Amino acid sequence: MFDAIHEECGVFGIYEGKKTDVASSVYFGLYALQHRGQESCGIAVCDDGVFNHKKAEGLVSDVFSRDELKRLGKGNMAVGHVRYSTTGGQNHNNIQPLVIRHVKGNMALVHNGNLTNAADLRRSFELSGAIFHGTSDTEAIAYQIVSERLHSSSTEEAVERAMPHIKGAYSCILMTATKLIAFRDPNGFRPLCIGKTHDGAYVIASESCALETVGAEFIRDAEPGEIIVISENGLNSIKTHCISKKNICIFEYIYFARPDSVIEGVSVHHARMKAGNILARCSPVDADIVVGVPDSGLDAALGFSNASGIPYGIGFIKNKYIGRSFIQPEQHQRESAVKIKLNVVRETVCGKRVVMIDDSIVRGTTSARIVRLLREAGAAEVHVRISSPPFIHSCYFGTDIDSEENLIACNCSSTEEIARYIGADSLSYLPVEALGELIDNRNGFCCGCFTGNYPVDITGAGSKDKFDEKLHKITEE
């Protein structure tokens, strides 16, 4: 409905070591990660080697009632997932966890990221007789691990042998009858962290904010390439695939993650404040008020205000009760969609020169509507500042950025032309060369969607959102 970047997936796992209400713990963890995916969700519980699971389309609170959590029963470990599809469409078989029964046991897999060689992996397995039920790349990961498990002494060894064959971004949690295994791609594109509760339970999550919801203390981030094995023997680490350079997606800090999360030692709130600070320094403007577009624009707006001395104000109220299921049946009704999601606080902006801070511009249509809302509320001027550089390339590692032909920065010859399109008096983006400042230049990061320079080879990855089409062509062949 809205011209915006969509959330990533979120993964959560807990190992208690004793039978308890682990389903409720995962529920709270997924609730904290709901911002990363609002399309579907699922939980799988292990009770003495027996797996019980539930997954469906919808928000965590809609899918899992008290009775549903009770039906899952108690167990000693569990995994969960919230999903926004980046590879694979809205197919029920793509909802995670993927629960698989194979010759050497059961496993449940959850995945955040996107593989660049998913179609090739799938074709290879299908030619050997494998049957796929969905279209997500997570299923290809599962097949690769199961294939390696046939010739390995343990599941962690199978994961270790599978990792060289799966290319791209993946932060995964795998549950077997006796172990919880987490593993992260060697570039560390997507976040993954480890926590521990006061009673000794280990927790793995996409973001540190989810640890706090179950009373777990943050221990550390999983290293890129690391395999973490949690069992009755405690926590063990396999680092044969670890490399020295990190390539965390910089957009995790700009948009995806919750502001109270800390990723690779950097506060997301701090990074967004820094983005606003840089914008004020690099693109100053005479104005009366600074407002942020909820949610990720708010911290950057506060940073812009602090650096510029222009007062910060609440310019928008977001209707938090609108989920992804809210769609407009008629084209002419789409124009009112932004008004339903965002209301302007007229008293804040009326008669004032407004600096509007947002996290990104994709096609430009939503930005144009938001600028129009400010003008209808009486804003004398609207100066747009974006806390990221312009998108000019696709992402192959899980960020749902539109194809290049649909990106406004690829279709306009200048920033001034984009400003005219969205109806702004001026427009400025965060400079690409300033991205390192967001994380205090302490870690490596991927910014391929802004520069076209990707940290790994993307040959054969195909065009954005063409995975289903590639599968269709393979079927025809």
The pLDDT of residue 323: 53
- 303-332 per-position pLDDT tens digit: 999 999 999 999 999 987 665 444 444 545
Element holding 166 (H helix, E strand): none
How far from 297 is each of 218, 316, 448, CA to CA, in Å? 26, 11, 22
The Cα–Cα gap between 177 and 48 comes to: 7
Query: Which segments of the chain have a pLDDT < 70?
Result: 1-7, 85-90, 321-339, 460, 462-477
3-state DSSP percent of the chain in helix, strand and coil, to 5: 35, 25, 40
Residue labelled with tokens 């957009």: 251
Q: Where are the domains of the chain?
A: 10-246, 262-451
Is-catalytic flag, 446?
no
End-to-end CA distance of the chain: 35
**Chain centroid, CA 445 distance in Å:** 15
Is residue 181 classed as helix, strand or coil in its secondary structure?
Answer: strand
Q: Confirm if 448 and 393 have CB atoms less than 8 A apart.
A: yes
The Cα–Cα gap between 333 and 446 comes to: 38
**Common-topology check for domains 10-246 and 262-451:** no
The pLDDT of residue 474: 42
Is residue 227 classed as helix, strand or coil in its secondary structure?
Answer: strand
CA 58, 60, 65, 69 torsion-angle sign: positive
- CATH fold, domain 262-451, is Rossmann fold (3.40.50)
- CATH fold, domain 10-246, is Glutamine Phosphoribosylpyrophosphate, subunit 1, domain 1 (3.60.20)
Residue labelled with tokens 């339970």: 201
The pLDDT of residue 331: 45
The Cβ of residue 99 has, within 10 Å, a number of other Cβ atoms equal to 18
Q: 234: which 2 tokens? A: 């405690």
The pLDDT of residue 4: 55
The pLDDT of residue 468: 47
The pLDDT of residue 441: 87
List helix spans (H) across 73-151: 118-127, 137-149
Is residue 354 classed as helix, strand or coil in its secondary structure?
Answer: strand
Catalytic entry in 9, 41, 193, 446: 9
The Cα–Cα gap between 279 and 437 comes to: 12
Neighbour-count burial for 385-418, b at 16+ CB within 10 Å, e otherwise: bbbbbbbbbbbbbbbbbbebeebbbeebeeeeeb
Sheet holding 426-429, edge to edge: 289-292, 353-358, 381-386, 426-429
